[in-house]
Every structure is written in C-alpha cells, then in structure tokens.
C-alpha cells in the first residue's frame, strides 16, 4: 500500500499516512495540482506558512516503462501567483516511487531561519541540520551528499537563489553522474522550498518495496508497443538522440519564429553557431573528452535527448544544453558563442535558476541598457551577481517581469509574470494561444502545438492561422494526462503519429492501475486536471483578462514575416469553454 509522507517544518515531524481512494489513480501533475487545490488557500502568500510543496512521481515511475521517470513538483507559484506544477527528470521520481511513496508533502514553516536536510529511505524519514550546506551551489551540494549518503542516492535541492527566496529559483534533481542540471525550474518553486527551510532532500530506495503493476503481463505488452514506437519515430528515435532538443534552433530560425534580442526579431544571424548540430560536432568529434550525446536524463529513458557538453580541452562543462536554455541565454540575448552560453547554463544550474526566465531577464536588462546585446562576458558577470546576493543580483534573480519594472522596459515577454519560451507567438499562433491561456503562465510544455505547426507531427497546421483554440485545448488536456503518468512529454512526438504507440501509452497506465480507460478518457482526464487548476486560479483572483499576451505582441510586427499576434480575445476564451 502506497503512503503519503507529510513533513511539517513547524514541528519538524515526519508522518506517513495511507493514500485515500480518491487519489489512487492520480499521479504526477494530477496529484500535485489536486492536493494543492484541496489543501492550499488560493489567496495565501506563496512564501508563507500556508503554502505547501508537493513532490509526486508519475503513475508509472519506478517501473520498466520507457522514459517514465519524470517528477512533478507542485505548489502556489511566487512568480505567477497561480497554481504551479514544474517537471523534472533525474533520479528522484523513480526512487520515491520505489520506496512506496505516492507523494512527499512539505508543509508549515520553521520557527527559525535554519535550513534542514530531509532524508528518506526504507526505514522512514528524518530531518537533519543542513548548516554545512547553506550558501553552497548545487554542484558542491550534490558531491557532498553522495560522499555522505552513498553514490547513487537522489538529491533534490536548491542553490543560493532558493535560499534567498528569489522568485526565479528552481529545484534541482541530480542525474546518474550526480550533476544538478535536471530542474523543476519554472514558477519559482525553489523559493517555496527555501521558505520551508529545506536545503535538500536525499532519497535512497535501497531495500524499498518497489512498484508492481496490477496486470504484469498486459503491462509488459503495452510498454513494448510504446518502446517500439519511440525507437522507430524519426524525432524520438533519430533527431533527439543525435542532436538533442537544440535541433530546433535551426528549424525555428528558418521558420522565422526564433525570438531574438528580447523578442525583437524572429531570426538570429548566429543561429548556426549554437545549433544542435554544432553541439553534436563539438561533443563527439572535435573536443570529445567528457562530451557525449544520446544521454538519458533519467534511468530508463529510451529517447536520450540529453547531452554532456565539454570545454575546449574536453573537460566536463555542463549537462545539458537544451534548446530552451541555448535559445534563452544565446539568441534571445544576441549571444552566438556556445561556450559562453554553456557557462551561463552552468551558473543557472549551480545557483539554482530557471534558464528560460534567466535568459529572458538578461535580455530585458540588455533592453534596459544595463549591458549590450551580444555581451557574453557581461552576461556571465551579471548572472554571477545572483549567487552573491547583491542588490542587483536579487533584482535579476526575481525574474523577467521584476527586472523589467526595475529598468523601465515595456517590451516584456511574460504572461502571468512568467517568461515566454523559445517560440515567438507572432510567427506560431497556436503556441501563443497556449502561452496566453495556460494555467501556469507562459509555458510551451502546457500544450506543445509546435508539433503540428512547425514539425508536421500529428498532422500539419498552418502556424499563421488564428483559429487555434481547439488545437491548444486538445494539446493542453493530453499534456496534463501525460504529466500525470510520469512519462516524458516527448513521447507525444511518436504517439501523435502512431496509434499503436498511443495505445501502449494509455493502456500501460490501465495495466498499472487496474483500470479500463479509453482513448477518449485520456483527454477527459486531462481536462479534469486543468479544471482543478483553473478553479484554484479563479479563487486566487485570476480572470479571462489574465489570459492574454503582452500588448507589444499585438502592436509590433515581427521580422522577417512582419506579423503581429492577431488571435482574437474571443478565440482565446474558447480554450476553456468545455464541459466535463
């Protein structure tokens, strides 16, 4: 029988409780959002005692299902003020599940300013003083905790940004090599963890009960279907393993939708210098050493879109260089030096910042005249201020909207306070609809319409067409379901084109949980998750007026296509006009 671990930071008690029947078929995002909606007052201060931080593995995490080791972290976001789920790979999700835990819930607030380490293993859970870890970056924290608790344990932690409760602080999860680059980055949940007084969580599943499907034979059959689909699809079986997610740099640049110099253009003249193809060449042919591609972000991943990027001498630099990070810290800042981008990425990993908002913040600071576009060394110096906790560092660490206010910038690419990712909505209208209406601020992973609009996966949609409510709605609902299973969102590329793969995905959940959902139930499940999140946000004061893109996107044409975002408000409002 699975348990829920509740950690009360006011009393420093760790208590296990049975999972109620109402939560049995909830996992990942469905569970975090459900528990936050049920237990957190929508109007509470995100950094106060009434907020909660929920860590939930997906329904299939801890099993042999391919690419199923994703962890959901939920709470009320200090960046957006909305409900939030941030998703990460790494070691933690599978280990939490194999200990027989449905979720870890951190609640209450310490009576002092001390930081603690939560240790969880087969014998229970305990809080240990973490005074020796305070102020340290995540690279050092990961090394120290493996030395103390043994190689292979999962480490979930925050860097100095989280300790300072900066609203762009993320939560790090270590990978198989004990690097900290797997982040539940978006929404500032690292600040919530800091406000709870938790510096790190160490999870050791040795001797745990493991995870057993309700129907083992059916489960094996269904995950085989999905594995075959993932390995045979050109995106998940070829492009992503070879070139990583940064394969999209050249693709989006050609499409004229690669946001450049704080969303002032859709093309970057230096795109070819920072592309996935260049990362592959440097990592595997030119520099070699520690460099590699086809690297899994968590054990059991068959897509392997991660990489280890080396320094010019072949030494380890950072893992990994993802599309969103390369774009945010590169083209969006006018920087075309891949080593400078890698260093900026490493600083984010160490200090504990979301790379998307960090890059958007630097670009806004450049727009505001703090430094020039393309100034890589200046950007590195600026980002280091965050870890030092200087007044300027604290401004930068609080994200794009906060920094824009500080410097009087009006081109501010955020929705509900969260920075837009690497697709300009004026060139790809469907993703703009997702940005505007997502329950969690601008977020491409909420409903990745780029698949049909740019890649032609799951059919072909015209990126300039403005009737995109239904497309975004369907993607958002299906995504909410996938986020609840523990499967990586990237399985969507294969299952959109392969009915057998789609069948293997949802039927593996059936076999795991002993239920009989249909294909139609997948969308209905996702819609229930979204409805729960929308209800929380509405109670927190959010209305349809918040489901809008920033004004400049309707006024400023985007080169090279010279288009604006012209999707009507009425179309945006149709996204959530559904009945369950």
Domain boundaries, the chain: 3-203, 236-424, 425-497+518-580
Fold of 425-497+518-580: 1.10.599
Judge contact between 51 and 193, C-beta under 8 A.
no
Cα gap 551→554, rounded to integer Å: 6
Cα gap 328→487, rounded to integer Å: 25
User: Which residue's structure tokens are 């069948």?
Assistant: 503
Strand order in the sheet with 154-157: 124-129, 116-121, 198-203, 154-157, 171-173, 182-184
Q: For the chain, which residues score pLDDT lower than 70?
A: 1
User: SS3 of 432, please?
Assistant: helix
Q: What would the two tokens of residue 374 be? A: 């393309």
Closest residue by Cα to residue 183 from 328, 33, 390: 328
Q: What would the two tokens of residue 109 be? A: 């607030």
Judge contact between 66 and 227, C-beta under 8 A.
yes
> Which DSSP string corresponds to 498-555?
-HHHHHHHHHHHHHHHT----HHHHHHHHHHHHHHHHHHHHHTT--GGGSS--THHHH
> What's the DSSP call for residue 285?
I
Using CA atoms, how far residue 459 sits from 168, 251, 479, 545, 557, in Å, is 36, 17, 17, 31, 28
Closest residue by Cα to residue 574 from 502, 462, 474: 474
**Residue-level pLDDT at 1:** 64
- 236-424: CATH architecture: Orthogonal Bundle (1.10)
Tens of pLDDT, residues 484-506:
999 999 999 999 999 999 999 99
**Residue-level pLDDT at 578:** 87
Cα gap 69→86, rounded to integer Å: 14
Judge contact between 92 and 71, C-beta under 8 A.
yes
Query: Which residues, 6+ apart, have CB-to-CB distance to 175 below 8 Å?
Result: 89, 90, 91, 181, 182, 297, 298, 306, 319
Q: What is the CATH number of domain 3-203?
A: 3.60.9.10
Judge contact between 137 and 350, C-beta under 8 A.
yes
Pairing of strands 71-76, 13-18: unpaired
Predicted TM-score (pTM) above 0.95? yes
3-state DSSP percent of the chain in helix, strand and coil, to 5:
45, 15, 40
Q: Would you call the peptide bond into 421 cis, given omega within 30 degrees of 0 as the criterion? A: no
**Residue-level pLDDT at 28:** 98
Beta bridge partners of 74: 54, 85
160: left (phi over 0), alpha (psi -120 to 50) or beta: alpha
Tens of pLDDT, residues 368-385:
999 999 999 999 999 999
Looking at the chain, the whole-number percentage of residues with pLDDT higher than 90 is: 98
Tens of pLDDT, residues 404-440:
999 999 999 999 999 999 999 999 999 999 999 999 9
């Amino acid at each position: 029988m699975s348990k829920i671990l509740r950690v009360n930071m006011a009393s420093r008690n760790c208590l296990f409780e049975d999972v109620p029947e109402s939560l049995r078929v909830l996992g990942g995002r469905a569970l975090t959002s459900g528990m936050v909606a049920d237990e957190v007052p929508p109007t509470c201060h995100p950094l106060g005692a009434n907020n909660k931080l929920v860590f939930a593995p997906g329904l299939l995490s801890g099993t042999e299902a391919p690419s199923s080791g994703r962890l959901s972290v939920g709470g009320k976001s200090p960046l957006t003020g909305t409900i939030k789920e941030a998703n990460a790979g790494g070691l933690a999700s599978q280990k939490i599940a194999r200990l027989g835990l449905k979720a870890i819930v951190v609640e209450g607030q310490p009576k002092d300013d001390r930081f603690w380490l939560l240790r969880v293993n087969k014998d229970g859970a305990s809080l240990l003083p973490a005074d020796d870890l305070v102020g340290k970056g995540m690279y050092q924290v990961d090394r120290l905790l493996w030395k103390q608790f043994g190689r292979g344990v999962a480490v979930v932690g925050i860097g100095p940004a989280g300790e300072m409760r900066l609203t762009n602080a993320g939560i790090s999860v270590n990978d198989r090599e004990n690097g900290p680059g797997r982040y539940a980055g978006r929404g500032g949940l690292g600040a919530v963890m800091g406000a709870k007084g938790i510096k790190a969580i160490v999870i050791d599943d040795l001797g745990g009960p493991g995870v057993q499907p309700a129907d083992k034979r059916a489960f094996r059959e269904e995950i085989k279907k999905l594995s075959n689909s993932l390995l045979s699809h050109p995106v998940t079986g070829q492009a992503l393993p070879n070139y990583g997610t940064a394969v999209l740099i050249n693709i989006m640049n050609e499409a004229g939708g690669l946001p450049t110099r704080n969303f002032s253009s859709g093309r970057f003249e230096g795109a070819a210098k920072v592309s996935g193809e260049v990362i592959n060449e440097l990592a595997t042919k030119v520099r070699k050493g520690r460099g590699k591609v086809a690297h899994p972000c968590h054990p059991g991943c068959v897509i392997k879109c991660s990489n280890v990027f080396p320094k010019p001498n072949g030494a380890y630099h950072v893992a990994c260089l993802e599309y969103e990070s390369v774009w945010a810290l590169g083209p969006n800042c006018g920087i075309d030096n891949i080593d400078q981008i890698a260093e900026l990425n490493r600083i984010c990993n160490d200090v504990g910042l979301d790379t998307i908002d960090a890059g958007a913040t630097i670009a806004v600071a450049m727009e505001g005249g703090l430094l020039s576009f393309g100034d890589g060394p200046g950007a590195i110096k600026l980002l280091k201020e965050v870890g030092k906790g200087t007044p300027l560092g604290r401004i930068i660490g609080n994200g794009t909207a906060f920094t824009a206010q500080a410097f009087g910038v009006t081109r501010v690419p955020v929705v509900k306070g969260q920075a837009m990712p690497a697709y300009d909505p004026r060139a790809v209208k469907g993703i703009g609809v997702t940005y505007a209406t997502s329950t969690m601020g601008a977020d491409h992973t909420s409903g990745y319409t780029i698949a049909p609009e740019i890649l032609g996966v799951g059919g072909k949609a015209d990126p300039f067409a403005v009737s995109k409510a239904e497309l975004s709605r369907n993607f958002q609902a299906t995504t909410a379901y996938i986020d609840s299973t523990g499967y990586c969102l990237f399985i969507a590329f294969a299952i959109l084109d392969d009915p057998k793969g789609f069948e293997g995905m949802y039927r593996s959940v059936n076999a795991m949980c002993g239920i009989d959902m249909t294909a139609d139930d997948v969308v209905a499940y996702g819609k229930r998750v979204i409805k729960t999140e929308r209800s929380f946000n509405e109670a927190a004061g959010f209305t349809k007026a918040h489901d809008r893109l920033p004004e400049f996107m309707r006024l400023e044409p985007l080169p090279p296509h010279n288009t604006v975002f012209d999707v009507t408000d009425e179309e945006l409002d149709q996204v959530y006009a559904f009945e369950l």
